[in-house]
Structure 1
Amino acid sequence: MSTWTVMLIDHDRLFSAALGTLIGSGPFRVNHHAASLDEALAAIDGGTDPDLIVLALQEGSAEEMAAVRRLRAGTGARIAVLADVTADQSLSLSLKAGADAYLNKGMSSESLLRSLQLVMLGEVVYPTHVASLLIASANERPAPPRPAPAAGNELSKREIQILRCLLAGQSNKTIARNLHITESTVKMHFKNVMRKIHAQNRTQAAVWAIQNGLSPLINA
């Protein structure tokens, strides 16, 4: 089993220590605790190179999200945000900042570890109503459109279905079950879709899908 290094960011050192113990019981190794985003950024500038950054969100403010963007720009680590409540505003800001997960502090330890493992396997983990927030985000401040697939490289019917399932918040396993195909086939389709639409991750793919008029697909 793979082992991933983790940086924890939280001003509450007691909570951070408890969280580190919990995370350390899975396939993770906590190698750095930071009390603030500035401290975390300084550590990264100094050579700390975690596989995963877990940030305990304080207010969900625009200032915090600006710091998350700096984290995203300064490291290739996956970023998971932990919040006290699933507030749409902070969720939307986290999405815009490029976080790979938005998780509730009240979730079970098993769910937390599973979610973090999914993040490290390339998944984007957000609440199920993320599609509506993606739509709101795209409407309130449209991003520069990503290039459409070149002629002769258009999306297939199956690839469009995959994107619509993604908008519905479905995991690879759920998509495979709904479309009656294997998970490896789903991953292959995702790889082809990312290449065609010039997306670097599932969040960018979801934004592209919404900007191009696709809607969530609940049942195939």
Structure 2
Amino acid sequence: MEAPIRIMLIDDHGIVRQGLRAILELEPQIRVVGEADDPEAALPLIDSLRPDIVLLDLSIGQHGTERGLNACRALSQRYPDVGVIVLTTFPEERLVLQALQNGAKGYVLKDVDAVDLIKMIRAVSRGEAAIDTRITPLVLKNLGRRDQERARLDLTDREKEVIRLLAAGYSNRQIGLALHISESTVKYHLRNIMDKLDVRARTEIVYAASKLGLV
């Protein structure tokens, strides 16, 4: 039989900790080994109890989410083998991204279904990331923006000139004449542009470039 997943609860509301403990301990392969009402009080307990997972409330006391984010970073740095799962009421894109950047392996809303919470705990215990499905679109949207911005920055000035002429309806030959380069060089630039924008056709270049504000 596999060893149970050892859980530490950090939440400044006792009734929340009691509820979580009651839910989690219904699972035979999950054991709540400790709890604390703030991160500082949790440190000696983590040192001695060595949990596999820490469920961390993001908003602790009067310090708001900033203290929770700082705690997330400190716990992740001090205990890299412990998976920190943020458990919060805030479905905000900024907080999700900051928590993940601060080392959280999971981000879950407090009204999550118990079955889903246990699935996420199991995922993090296996070394995977676990994001509440209601939050996933926020993360994907941000990643999409970052990928687009990276593509914009990777394009050279000459490649941007080629894109603008392509959008104006110029053929490869006409682009070469306008930029005083050979038609084979135009084709070379187009191949690089398609790789950077992750597209496979000339028409897709124009569409992708318009989304980036290049044409």
TM-score by length of 2: 0.59
Aligned residue among 25, 28, 31 for 1:29: 31
Contact 2:90–2:109 (CA<8 Å) still a contact in 1?
Answer: yes
Structure possessing the higher radius of gyration over alpha carbons: 2
Deviations 1:68-118 (A, max 9, x none): 111011111111111113111211111111100001111111111111111
Q: Which runs of 5+ in 1 are unaligned?
A: 143-212, 216-220
Aligned residue among 59, 63, 68 for 2:67: 63
1:55 partner amino acid? L
| Structure with the higher fraction of residues in helix conformation | 2
1:30 partner amino acid? V
Report matched runs for 1:148-159 at 5 Å: none
Do residues 4 (structure 1) and 5 (structure 2) align?
Answer: yes
- Which residue does the alignment assign to 2:90? 85
CA distance, structure 2, for counterparts of residue 73 and residue 128 of structure 1: 25
- Which residue does the alignment assign to 2:136? 128
Q: Match of 2:87, SS? A: strand
Aligned residue among 79, 90, 98 for 2:103: 98
CA distance, structure 1, for counterparts of residue 54 and residue 85 of structure 2: 6
Contact 2:56–2:68 (CA<8 Å) still a contact in 1?
Answer: no
Q: Match of 1:68, SS? A: helix
CA distance, structure 2, for counterparts of residue 62 and residue 214 of structure 1: 36
1:53 partner amino acid? V
Report matched runs for 1:1-220 at 5 Å: 1-2=1-2, 3-26=4-27, 27-44=29-46, 46-58=47-59, 61-75=65-79, 76-126=81-131, 127-129=135-137, 130-134=139-143
Residue 47 (structure 1) shift: 2.5
Greater length-normalized contact order (CA 8 Å, ≥ 6 residues apart): 1
Q: Match of 1:54, SS? A: strand
Q: Which runs of 5+ in 2 are unaligned?
A: 151-195, 199-215
- Which residue does the alignment assign to 1:199? none
Residues 139 and 80 of structure 1: CA distance in aligned 2, closer, same or farther (over 3 Å): farther
Residue 20 (structure 1) shift: 0.8
1:133 partner amino acid? N
CA distance, structure 2, for counterparts of residue 89 and residue 13 of structure 1: 27
1:25 partner amino acid? L
Residue 63 (structure 1) shift: 3.3
Residues 214 and 77 of structure 1: CA distance in aligned 2, closer, same or farther (over 3 Å): farther
TM-score by length of 1: 0.58
Residue 25 (structure 1) shift: 1.4
Deviations 1:33-58 (A, max 9, x none): 010011112333x4331111011221
